[in-house]
Structure formats: structure tokens, C-alpha cells
Structure 1
Amino acid sequence: MKKYFQEFKYNFNLAMPVILGMVGHTLVGVVDNIFVGQLGSTELAAVSLGNSFIFIGMSIGIGFSTAITPIVAEFDSTKDREGGRSAFQNGLILCTILGFGLFFLLFLAKPILQYMNQPKEVVELAMPFLDIVGFSLVPLVVFQAYKQFADGMSETKYSMYATIYGNIINVVINALLVFGLFMFPKMGIVGSAIGTLVARVFMVIYMHFILAKNEKFKSFFKHFGWQSFQKSMSDKIIKLGIPSSMQMFFEVALFTGAIWLCGMIGTTSQAANQIALSLASLTFMFAMGLSVTAMIRVANHKGLDDYKKLNTVAHSIFLMAIMVEIVFAIVFMLGYQFFPVFFVNEEMTLNPAEIKEVLSISSKLLIVAAFFQISDGIQVVVLGALRGLQDVKVPMYFTFIAYWIIGFPISIYLGLYTDLKAEGVWIGLLAGLTAAAIMLYFRFRFLLKHHR
């Protein structure tokens, strides 16, 4: 165990900016939910429904962009700056194209909202919200290209700064436009969507200028343009990026399916699901930060062909993830009745009984979320290590089996055909995440054994 603990300090120093940045990234959604929650459960359910589509686009875009990090990290470990420059520039071009493509597909898919057996008033509110936040996918995916490049160079602090500043902008715009403070119009959830869009555009601008002016990164921006496109490097990124995006898509789609199922159960279940999901997503970002750390360090040691050290580093990060998630599980168990209160305002709602039900359901969901903290943490950190090894195809199949052959059918049965309802939906999520954690860890063990 001592050899694992010796890696904790370096892991922590590398992971903390990533964790803070990702927490900040998630806080954009949490802030939206807190502000919108003051308007009522219908508005909160509309944001939940709209985000169920946005999350799918985000999963594909963010998942694809993760292909940049292990490639850049491997080049960085061998001091191959030309290879790193090619990976960054081609990754940025591909992410820009993908961002616009996702927005276009989301726009075409918007009419599906009318046929999802959701409350009419929720759908009507979700439509304009979806238009604006859908367009914000473009700057989001472009930002991810810059972020994953900087992460691959083991410079994880810049994206943290970008998300902190982006959050400040988002909070200010939410306060002004959701409620119509000062001379600004009261725009409700549309105002919240505008805040998200403006914050994400700012984050791209910030990352570009902060990296382009940094001495360490200046050479990576030379001869930058569409002429930088190289088929061989682009093919490599696509080969890693598509399975990576599918892995993330399968997981996010599972939670999106949970949103839809809770919407079928009722507006209060959907609103409660959104509250619990916001809190669970916040803690998940800590595991995601450690996942990025695993991806970077595993890719570094892969580039050096040092698999003995790679194994030690990876397991030290796995151990850190387990310890962190146990703490969060305890926090959820202790505060399951306390945390949901922040997302609603009983004095401003027109239906106090409805809000009381939302609080009751979300409290039950947080108890289930406490149990799947550990499984969720393990699966995402091991997945990061596998990406560092550039092993993405088999994990893609494993995640599909875990989430859609095991997890979602359980959610459907327990949620729609038993008295557990929303709580049953989340038990299905727990089953899927646990299955993924087990399969992915044994895949990692298999690959390391092969390299010994």
C-alpha cells in the first residue's frame, strides 16, 4: 500500500485543478437549476427535459474530445512537440466541426419532444430553452478541445480558471435575466439558457488567448488553420474519439432515460430526479477529475513503455477514487433530507403540496445515489486509465452491456411496474454502474497482465 500512497501527492496536484474545473463546469447546470427552481416545479421539469437532449450532445462532444489527451500526453512524455502540435490542431478542427454538427442534429431532433409522453406545459417551456442551450454545444465542444490539449500537457489549471470565470458570468446573467432584476427583462428559463451560452463562449475565448500567449504553448499555435488538417492524425483521433464518445453517450443516455422515465411517472418525480441528478453530478466530477489524471499519467508511462510504474500509478488513482467516493456516500446519507431544500422555494410556488412531494422523492433518490457513488467512481477512473492505454473499443461494448442490457431494463421494470417508481429507476442506475465498474476493472487487469 505504501507505494500507492507515495503517488497520492502528485495525483492530487494534477487532479485538483481538473476537479475544481469540472465542479465549476457542473455548477453551470446546478446554478441554472437553483435559479429556475425558484420559478416552480414545472419550469424545473422543463429544464430537466431540455437538458436530457443537451446531455446526449454533450456526451458525444466531450467523449470525442477526450481522444486528444492521451495522444498529446504520449507525445509529451517523449518530447515530440511536432506530434503534439498536430494532435492539438487536428483535434480542434474536428471538435469545431462536431460542435456545429451536434447543434444541427439537436435542432432536427427537437420535434421529438412532442411525442415523449411528457406534460404539455413542460414541453412548451422546454422548446425555447433547448434552442439556446443547444447552440451552446458549439463553444462547449471547442472549449473541450483546448482543455483536453492542456490536460495532455499536464497543465490542468487553465481550464479550471476558465470555468470559474464562466460560472461567475453565468450566475450574474441568471440573476439578471431569470427574475428581471434592475432594467433587465424577466425571461425565466430562457434567461438561464442565455447565461449558459454566454459563459461557454467566454470560456473558449479565455482558453485560446491564455494558451496562445503562454511560452510553453506558443509553438503549438504556429501555422494554425484549416491547412493544418492531416488525414493520418485526424484518423487516429477519430479512431479513439468515436468509441470514447459512445462510452460517454451510453452512460449519459442511461441517465437521460431515467429523466424520461421519471417524466412518465409524473412532473414531481421528474423535478425530484433533476435535483438528485444535479447533486450526484457534482460529486461525480471529483471522480472525473481523477479519471483525467489516470488518463494523463497512464498515457505518459505508456509512451515511456514503463508498464510496471503504470500499474502502480493507476492503482494509486483507483484507491484515491474509492476513498473520495466513500466520503461522498456518507455525506449523501447524512444530508439526504437537507440538500434538496436548496433547489426549491416553498413560499414562491403556487403549489406547496407539490413541492413537498418533490422534496420527499428527491430525498429517497439521494439515498440510492449514496450507494452508487463508489461504483460510479471506480468505473469512470478505470475508464480513464483504459483511455490512457488507448484501449477504447472493448470498453465501449462493456459500457453498452452494463447500462443498456443490465441497468436500463431494471430501471424500466422497477420504475414503471412497481411501487418504487422514481426510486426504482435509480436502483437500475446503481445496477448498471456496478456492472460497468466490475467489467472495466477486469479489462484493465487483463491488459496489464498481457504487457508483463
Structure 2
Amino acid sequence: MFENPPRSWTDEWRQTFVLAAPLVGANLLQMAVFAVDVVFVARLGSSALAASSLAVSLFGLLIWSLTGLVGAASPLIAAELGRRAHAVREVRRTVRMAAWVGVIASFAAMAVCLAIGPILAMTGQSERIIVLAVPFMSVLMWATIPAVLGSLLRTAIATLGRPMVGTVITGLSVGVNALGNWVFVFGHFGMPALGLNGSALSSVVTSTATLGAYLLVIRFDRRLHRYHMLGRWWRVDWTRFVDVLRIGVPIAATIVAEAGLFNAAAFLMGRIGELPLAAHALAMQFAAIAFQVPFGVAQAATIRVGRAYGAGDRHGITLAGRVALVLGIGFMALSAGVLLFAPRTIIGLYIDPALPANAALVALAVRFMGVAAAFQLFDGAQTVGAALLRGLQDTRVPMALALFGYWVPGLGAAVWLGLYTPLAGLGVWIGLLIGLAVVAALMIRRWYRRETLGLVSRTDAKESASLPS
């Protein structure tokens, strides 16, 4: 399942790549799952698309943050495996308590979903959009628990050395969601045409089916079944429960801080004008897709560093960090080159840049992409840097660094440059660049000071083998 700890750059490079590649594939396929909804809902009209977009934006933020919360299982499991190769009871307890945390937090998220009407009203949305979004969300919110538990199991399976399982299951979920939308939105196989709410129902079915697929794999895969991750789910382990919260809550808060900056940027663009908002959406599409690669590398980095941390292997920690940073930032350097030298080609994937009616939109999007090329590098650095620290189970200070970097220099610069200078929309993108650059610098600095800060010390590690399983 896992090879011996690497002692050379080449060994670490190979093991990180083998782990990261399926994770990147699963991340890209997850974006395809969301894209399927857009394809079907767009046929229902602009009002339905706007309502679903707003609801999915809120729902996506909640799910993403809860994914980070239960994602605390990854460094905990990795450290246990690094400490002891056959940490069956420790893995089972970690997955069980992360599931408890995830389910409890999911109910809180569902309560937020029920408040979408007042939330949209406070942001000034039209009554027509609110009327459509409220029943849509009342169905979609039931996908919360299966989505969070599915994410937890995907993380656990990848940490146990089977990342390709998540890629295959996510690929299958694209087909399930497409079929579900076709059946429920337009009415096929004897089902009534549910319209917009049918797309929400499809998401619930897809999330549930995905969770079911993970449960089946865990039950019947011999190497995974030995951990009995589904056993004794009713037994509580408060020490591990607190460990999950201790590591997971700061991860979730960091995600909210970053997402909040980018969501605020969209609202700022909307205040500046419709054209800058459209250009912003175009430029952000490629950035979001490219981000999935360093994000997958970051997920692998947490696992690689976590195993070395659990084993008390300082050399392994250093190797894992160096390789992950080179992979993550190196890819983003390539994507930055694409943004700099072929922006019109990217734009051509969405609209016809040769049409005179699109000239102003294309020109503005190209300007934004010039700034995006620079922030790609910092985006890769910050996500990998934060992941390396998570592998050391260091999340509280990185959370504070992220909150400061994104919301003080980042959002502050975006508001000032975007609303109070002639830079307008370009100023908002410069603010994004500043926020990412500050967070990246702070994360990388903390990573390289890990020895001085005592982050790699194993003296405070909790021996859990003697705890009840």
C-alpha cells in the first residue's frame, strides 16, 4: 500500500506524483459534476440559472468548508500510519469521530440553507429570484450529509493509499448527475418534469449514490476492509473528537476566509458594472480550473508530510515539502504562461472573441488575465504551503495568517483600488493578487521556520494505541 520512506528527491517525486495525480483528476471531475447542473438548468431560462447559481454559491461554500472540517482526518490518519504501519484501531476511531463531527456540522449547515430567503433579500436580490431559490435550496440541502460523509471517505481512502478509488467514483458521479438531471428536470422514465427543483433532486441522488459507492468499496475491498471503518460507529472517543475539531475548525475557517475574498471580489465587480463582472467571470473560469492541480498536490502533500511527521522523520518532512512546492508552483508557472501568451484562446472557449460586440468584454478580460498570471504563482504557493503545515497538524496559526492576509491587505486593497481609483475592475484583481501574495509569503515563511517554532517535535504526540477502539 505504501512504499518505504523515500530517502532521495527522485523517490519522493515519484511517490508524490502517484498520489497527487488521481487527486487532481478527482478534483477536475468534481468540477464537471457541477458543470452538468449548469448545462441543464441553463435550458430553463436566465431566472432559473440565476437562482440556482446563487443557491449553489452558498451551498458550495458550506460544503467546501465542511469538507475542510472533516479533512482533518487526513493528517491524523497519516500521522498514525507513519507512527505504526498497522494502526487499524486509530484509523477507525479517526474516521468515526470525523463522521460524527461532519454530521453534527451538516445539520448546522442545513439550518443556514433554510435561511436562504432572508440572506438573498439582504443582498438585494429580486423577489423573482428568491421565489425560485428557496424551494430549490429546500431540496438541495438534503445533499449535505451524504456529500460531507462522501468527502470524508474519499479523504480517508486516499490517505490509506488508494487515491484512484476517488477518481473513479467521482467520474461515475458525473454520469449519475447527468442522468439524474435528464430524468428529473425534464421528466423521463415516467417521472414528472420538476424543472429547477429536479436539478436539486439530482444533486441529492448523486451525493447519496456517491456515498453508497464509497461504502461498498470500503466493505468489499480487502485492503480497506481490514480497517473496519464502518464498525462500531456508535462508540464515542472524545479525545479523537476534539482532535478533529482542533485541526478541522481552523481549516474550515481558512477556506471561508479565502472564499470570502473571492466572493467579495464578485460583488465589488457587480458594483463597478455589468461588463467588469462578466469579464471577471470569464477570467476566473480558467483560474478555477488551473487551481485544481496545486489543490490536488496540496492534498497529497498533507498525506506525505503527515506520514513523515508521525514517523518523526525530519528528512522525509523536508523532502515532501520541497517536492510539493516545486510541483504546485511549477504547474502554476505553466498556467501563468498560458494566461500571458494565449488569453484570447482561453476566452474563445466561452465566447467568440472576433465578434465586434464582444470587443470590450474581451479587452477587459485580457487585462484581468494579465494580473491572474501573477496570482497563479501565489495561489499555488499558498495552497501547498497551508497543506504542508496541515501535515504537521498546524492549523490555528495558519488560519490567523489567512484571515489577516485575505481580509486586511487583500480585501482592503480590492475595495480601495476598485471603488476609489481609476483602476476599477483591474484594481479588484490587484487586491486579489496582494491577498494571495501575502498569505503565500506568510505560509511559506512559517513552513521554513518549522524547526525553530517546534512544529516538528514529536514530544507532544498523543499515543492512542491504548485507547478503546
Task: Give the TM-score taking structure 2 as reference length.
Answer: 0.85
Work out which structure has the larger RCO, using CA pairs closer than 8 Å and 6 or more positions apart in sequence. 1
Write the distance in 2 (CA, Å) between the matches of 1:179 and 1:213: 36
Within the candidate set 347, 369, 379, 2:382 is matched to: 379
**Which region of structure 1 is more displaced relative to structure 2, 77-86 or 432-441?**
77-86
Q: Does 1:396 align with 2:373?
A: no
Within the candidate set 424, 428, 431, 1:428 is matched to: 431
Q: Does 1:58 align with 2:60?
A: no
Cα gap change, 1:399/1:416 in structure 2, threshold over 3 Å: closer, same or farther?
A: same
Within the candidate set 437, 441, 452, 1:438 is matched to: 441
Within 5 Å, which residues of 2 pair with 1:39-188?
44-77=49-82, 78-79=84-85, 80-118=87-125, 121-174=128-181
- Is the partner of 1:447 in helix, strand or coil? coil
**Which region of structure 1 is more displaced relative to structure 2, 5-14 or 302-311?**
5-14
**Which region of structure 1 is more displaced relative to structure 2, 78-87 or 101-110?**
101-110
Cα gap change, 1:279/1:432 in structure 2, threshold over 3 Å: closer, same or farther?
A: same
Write the distance in 2 (CA, Å) between the matches of 1:279 and 1:446: 33
Write the distance in 2 (CA, Å) between the matches of 1:271 and 1:201: 34
Task: Give the TM-score taking structure 1 as reference length.
Answer: 0.88
Q: Indicate conservation of the 8 Å contact 2:294/2:328, yes or no.
A: yes
Structure number, greater radius of gyration? 2
Tell me which amino acid in the other structure corresponds to 1:379.
Answer: Q
- Counterpart of 1:7? 12
Q: Indicate conservation of the 8 Å contact 1:240/1:390, yes or no.
A: yes
C-alpha displacement at 1:361, in angstroms? 4.9
C-alpha displacement at 1:23, in angstroms? 1.0
- Counterpart of 2:460? none
Q: Does 1:247 align with 2:228?
A: no
Cα gap change, 1:111/1:266 in structure 2, threshold over 3 Å: closer, same or farther?
A: farther
Write the distance in 1 (CA, Å) between the matches of 2:230 and 2:32: 36
Q: Deviations over 1:35-64 (max 9, x none)?
A: 555666665544443233123312320110
Cα gap change, 1:234/1:46 in structure 2, threshold over 3 Å: closer, same or farther?
A: same
Write the distance in 2 (CA, Å) between the matches of 1:428 and 1:133: 33
C-alpha displacement at 1:218, in angstroms? 1.7
**Which region of structure 1 is more displaced relative to structure 2, 21-30 or 184-193?**
184-193
Within the candidate set 20, 32, 36, 2:37 is matched to: 32
Q: Indicate conservation of the 8 Å contact 1:73/1:296, yes or no.
A: yes
Q: Deviations over 1:63-101 (max 9, x none)?
A: 101100011111122122111111111112221222222
Write the distance in 1 (CA, Å) between the matches of 2:153 and 2:216: 11
Cα gap change, 1:172/1:271 in structure 2, threshold over 3 Å: closer, same or farther?
A: farther
**Which region of structure 1 is more displaced relative to structure 2, 89-98 or 314-323?**
89-98
Write the distance in 2 (CA, Å) between the matches of 1:368 and 1:304: 42
- Counterpart of 2:465? none
Write the distance in 2 (CA, Å) between the matches of 1:120 and 1:269: 25
C-alpha displacement at 1:296, in angstroms? 0.5
Cα gap change, 1:273/1:243 in structure 2, threshold over 3 Å: closer, same or farther?
A: same
**Which region of structure 1 is more displaced relative to structure 2, 5-14 or 198-207?**
5-14
Within 5 Å, which residues of 2 pair with 1:231-242?
231-242=238-249
- Counterpart of 1:410? 413
C-alpha displacement at 1:400, in angstroms? 0.3
Write the distance in 1 (CA, Å) between the matches of 2:42 and 2:201: 17
C-alpha displacement at 1:238, in angstroms? 0.9
Q: Indicate conservation of the 8 Å contact 1:288/1:380, yes or no.
A: yes
Q: Indicate conservation of the 8 Å contact 1:68/1:237, yes or no.
A: yes
Tell me which amino acid in the other structure corresponds to 2:419.
Answer: L
Write the distance in 2 (CA, Å) between the matches of 1:157 and 1:345: 37
Cα gap change, 1:271/1:104 in structure 2, threshold over 3 Å: closer, same or farther?
A: farther
C-alpha displacement at 1:109, in angstroms? 4.5
Write the distance in 1 (CA, Å) between the matches of 2:296 and 2:323: 14
C-alpha displacement at 1:179, in angstroms? 6.6
Q: Deviations over 1:195-243 (max 9, x none)?
A: 3332222111111111121112223336724422211111111111111
Write the distance in 2 (CA, Å) between the matches of 1:268 and 1:62: 34
Write the distance in 1 (CA, Å) between the matches of 2:206 and 2:352: 26
Q: Indicate conservation of the 8 Å contact 2:218/2:225, yes or no.
A: yes
Within 5 Å, which residues of 2 pair with 1:264-275?
264-267=271-274, 269-275=276-282
Number of aligned positions between the proteins: 446
Cα gap change, 1:263/1:188 in structure 2, threshold over 3 Å: closer, same or farther?
A: farther
Write the distance in 2 (CA, Å) between the matches of 1:183 and 1:37: 23
- Counterpart of 2:4? none
Cα gap change, 1:208/1:318 in structure 2, threshold over 3 Å: closer, same or farther?
A: same
Q: Deviations over 1:320-339 (max 9, x none)?
A: 11111111112233443343
Q: Indicate conservation of the 8 Å contact 2:414/2:428, yes or no.
A: yes
Cα gap change, 1:104/1:301 in structure 2, threshold over 3 Å: closer, same or farther?
A: same
Tell me which amino acid in the other structure corresponds to 2:103.
Answer: T
Write the distance in 2 (CA, Å) between the matches of 1:416 and 1:188: 39
C-alpha displacement at 1:142, in angstroms? 1.1
- Is the partner of 2:222 in helix, strand or coil? coil
Cα gap change, 1:223/1:257 in structure 2, threshold over 3 Å: closer, same or farther?
A: closer
- Counterpart of 1:368? 371
Tell me which amino acid in the other structure corresponds to 2:123.
Answer: M
Q: Does 1:330 align with 2:333?
A: no
Give the unaligned 5+ runs of structure 1.
Answer: 347-351
Q: Between the two proteins, what is the percent identity of the paired residues?
A: 25
Cα gap change, 1:281/1:222 in structure 2, threshold over 3 Å: closer, same or farther?
A: closer
Within the candidate set 224, 231, 246, 1:224 is matched to: 231
- Is the partner of 1:216 in helix, strand or coil? helix
- Counterpart of 1:349? none
Write the distance in 1 (CA, Å) between the matches of 2:130 and 2:362: 22
Cα gap change, 1:331/1:32 in structure 2, threshold over 3 Å: closer, same or farther?
A: farther
Tell me which amino acid in the other structure corresponds to 1:406.
Answer: P
- Is the partner of 1:221 in helix, strand or coil? coil
- Counterpart of 1:21? 26
Q: Deviations over 1:143-164 (max 9, x none)?
A: 1111121122122111111111
Cα gap change, 1:447/1:57 in structure 2, threshold over 3 Å: closer, same or farther?
A: same
Q: How large is the Cα RMSD of the aligned pairs?
A: 3.1
